[in-house]
Structure 1
């Protein structure tokens, strides 16, 4: 797959199973996350790789966080299953730096790292989906993952082997989203 095919055909796939990337593949994915635009070279992000028994631990953290706000058994059960949608999750969080580069730009750089890792996973033949949701903004989850309260979870990048191939999404035309200034 060349870069043109990658950039024009990549799409998220939430139907993931073993195997997850290991060795050089995981190295390439994490390295891609480090090569993103980064104003001031601050590297204002952190990656937490979760797999194996760590998925059980993350499930318990999710359940504990949800139980603070609800006793709805169905929601708790659904939440407990979330980490098992893929054999690997890379949690990307910010590590904001006190700097002239605004936090918003640091957040965008961290978001770029998620995107780059998803693109690399896809280029290596893995499926991936970038998820957020209410647990991304939950201070209990951040605490459990050793993420400072003032930092943000940018996303949970679920990675694995595609269980099924999805139909190709239609191309979104760009014309109505572009203005040319001459």
Structure 2
């Protein structure tokens, strides 16, 4: 149970209002307690409800929490120290430390399949979004990151990725210590138009 969460998600909100109220929470504001094991199972169940052309399941989830997360972050920091941009990537890596749960979404697209790889990649992206919405609906905050550790071969090797697999997103989940600061957003009139032929 997210006892310290100050998430506006509520049973009083309609599903549409709930989706409209979702915000990405800065990593430092994602704190314990995190979701329970039963809540994590439910969150994964929600994540799996994505469009999946051909029923390929072209994604995998890697759940990272507790002492394992601490060791993972330590190893990433050690790798960061070997890079030319060490100071910058250490800051990026530290973002992984606060949230009690990290869900790494892995794109496991099947090359050469009749379902284009692009559609398979999009399905992995949809899984990241479902995790964000699911966490929000359950009263938790979340943030979808990538960062250097999503692209560096040594960093991704720590996750045991198979050949051809890529990190689609690193989703941090936790209770919300501080709400997201409102920010200007584009309006529908800026990005949507009706097709006329």
TM-score w.r.t. length of structure 2 = 0.84
Deviates more, 1:9-18 or 1:167-176: 167-176
Q: Hey, what does 2:67 align to over in structure 1?
A: 53
1:4 to 9, 13, 16: 16
1:66 equivalent in alignment to 2:63: no
Q: Hey, what does 2:33 align to over in structure 1?
A: 19
Structure 1 residue ranges, 4+ long, deviating more than 4 angstroms after superposition: none
After superposition, give the CA deviation of every residue in 1:26-58 in whole Å (9 maximum; x if it has no partner). Answer: 122101111100111111111111111112221
Q: Spell out the pairing of 1:90-105 with structure 2 (5 A cutoff).
A: 90-98=103-111, 99-105=113-119
Quick one: distance in 2 between partners of 1:84 and 1:68?
19
1:78 to 70, 91, 100: 91
Compute the RMSD of aligned alpha carbons.
Answer: 1.9
What displacement does 1:100 show? 1.0
What displacement does 1:70 show? 2.8
What displacement does 1:117 show? 1.1
Give the count of matched residue pairs.
181
* Unaligned residue ranges in structure 1 (runs of 5+): none
Greater helix fraction, Structure 1 or Structure 2: 1
Quick one: distance in 1 between partners of 2:51 and 2:44?
15
Q: Spell out the pairing of 1:100-179 with structure 2 (5 A cutoff).
A: 100-179=114-193
* Unaligned residue ranges in structure 2 (runs of 5+): 1-12
TM-score w.r.t. length of structure 1 = 0.90
